[in-house]
Chain A
Amino acid sequence: MNCEQATRLLSDGQERELSFKEKAALKIHVLMCSGCSNFAQQMHVLRDFAQLYTQGGRDDDKK
Chain B
Amino acid sequence: MNATPTTLDREENVEAFNLVDPVLLKELRVQMLKFAVLQLSDQQLAEDAVQDALVGALKNAASFNRKAALKTWVFAILKNKIVDILRKRIRLKETTGFSTDGEGEEGQNSLFDKKGFWQKEERPGAWAQPMEAVKKDHFWLVFDTCLNELPASQARVFMMREFIELDSTEICESLDMTTSNLHVLLYRSRLRLRDCLEKHWFIKGDRS
Hey, which bits of chain A sit against chain B, CB under 8 A?
Answer: 2-5, 7-8, 11-12, 14-16, 33-36, 38-39, 41-43, 45-57, 59-60
- B76: interface (CB < 8 Å): yes
Bound together, the chains give a CA A7 to CA B75 distance in angstroms of 30
In the assembled complex, the CB of B83 is this many whole angstroms from the nearest CB of chain A, namely 11
Residues of B close to A33: CB separation below 8 A: 118
A38 contact from B76, B124, B164, Cβ within 8 A: B124
Residues of A close to B58: CB separation below 8 A: none
Looking at chain B, what size class is its interface with the partner chain? Answer: 35 or more
A12/B183 in contact, CB under 8 A: yes
B75/A54 in contact, CB under 8 A: yes
Chain A minimum-CB-distance residue to B171: A15
Residues of B close to A11: CB separation below 8 A: 183, 186-187, 190-191
Residues of B close to A15: CB separation below 8 A: 168, 182-183, 186
Residues of A close to B107: CB separation below 8 A: none
A42/B140 in contact, CB under 8 A: no
19 contacts between A and B (CB under 8 A): A2-B115, A2-B117, A7-B187, A14-B186, A15-B183, A16-B168, A34-B123, A35-B123, A38-B127, A39-B124, A46-B190, A49-B130, A52-B134, A53-B72, A53-B140, A53-B163, A54-B79, A57-B69, A60-B72
Chain B minimum-CB-distance residue to A12: B183
A38/B126 in contact, CB under 8 A: yes
Residues of A close to B162: CB separation below 8 A: 46-47, 50-51
Residues of A close to B76: CB separation below 8 A: 54-56
Give the contacts of B75-129 with A (CB-CB under 8 A). Answer: 75-76, 79, 112, 115-118, 123-127
Chain B minimum-CB-distance residue to A47: B162
A2-B116 contact given A52-B134, A55-B76, A60-B69, CB 8 Å threshold: yes
In the assembled complex, the CB of A40 is this many whole angstroms from the nearest CB of chain B, namely 9
Bound together, the chains give a CA A54 to CA B169 distance in angstroms of 21
Residues of A close to B168: CB separation below 8 A: 15-16
B125/A38 in contact, CB under 8 A: yes
- B10: interface (CB < 8 Å): no
